């Protein structure tokens, strides 16, 4: 299991929520397909919103990953330095998917890099670890010696909220 940049884990969770929200309960595949089709069409035409999650949403059903290990390595750095190397690690099938992929990578290279990695992480959740959900890791180095005395409320302050009236000026 590999740790990924916290922003990528956040984006992947957000993408999961967007997909679940679009599908609805009970799942309505027709609404989902209409949403994906609209996103793919927008990005294929060279427009579309410059939003990582919407790009990843458009990619998620048609993207194919050529270098999963490379994408996992790239997921350690959210900003990244070479979007073109990430673009070579994936691709989309079909005429509209290929057009969308080309338009995204040309018009929004940094966001497209992040969207590709986000889609990869969403589709391969068993390959990586979400650091902010690991309670053992969060507790590392905590000796449990938190000192509350320095931050404790004074009697003057707590009497402001005394339901029995207390002394007030």
- pLDDT tens, the chain, 169 aa long: 578 888 999 999 999 999 998 988 888 899 999 999 999 999 999 888 889 999 999 999 999 999 999 999 999 899 888 899 999 999 998 899 999 999 999 999 999 999 999 999 999 877 676 654 444 554 555 565 555 556 666 666 666 666 666 555 5
* Residue 92 to residue 97: CA distance in whole angstroms: 5
The answer to whether 58 touches 100, Cβ cutoff 8 Å, is: yes
Q: What are phi and psi of 140, to 5 degrees?
A: -60, 135
**CA angle in degrees (0–180, nearest 5) for 52-55-58:** 150
* Residue 99 to residue 112: CA distance in whole angstroms: 13
The separation between CA 72 and the C-alpha centre of its own chain, rounded to angstroms, equals: 14
The answer to whether 46 touches 77, Cβ cutoff 8 Å, is: no
């Amino acid at each position: 299991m590999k740790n990924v940049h916290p922003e990528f884990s956040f984006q992947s969770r957000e993408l999961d929520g967007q997909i679940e929200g679009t599908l609805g309960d009970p799942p309505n595949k027709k609404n989902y397909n209409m949403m994906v089709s609209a996103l793919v069409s927008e990005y294929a035409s060279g427009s579309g919103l410059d939003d990582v999650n919407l790009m990843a949403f458009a990619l998620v059903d048609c993207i194919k990953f050529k270098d999963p290990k490379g994408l996992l390595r790239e997921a350690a750095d959210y900003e990244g330095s070479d979007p073109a190397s990430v673009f070579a690690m994936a691709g989309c099938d079909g005429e509209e998917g290929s057009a969308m992929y080309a338009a995204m990578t040309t018009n929004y290279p940094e966001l497209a890099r992040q969207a590709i990695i986000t889609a990869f992480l969403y589709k391969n959740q068993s390959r990586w670890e979400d650091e902010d959900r690991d309670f053992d890791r969060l507790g590392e180095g905590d000796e449990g010696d938190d000192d509350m005395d320095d931050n404790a409320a004074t009697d003057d302050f707590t009497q402001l909220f005394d339901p029995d009236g207390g002394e007030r000026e």
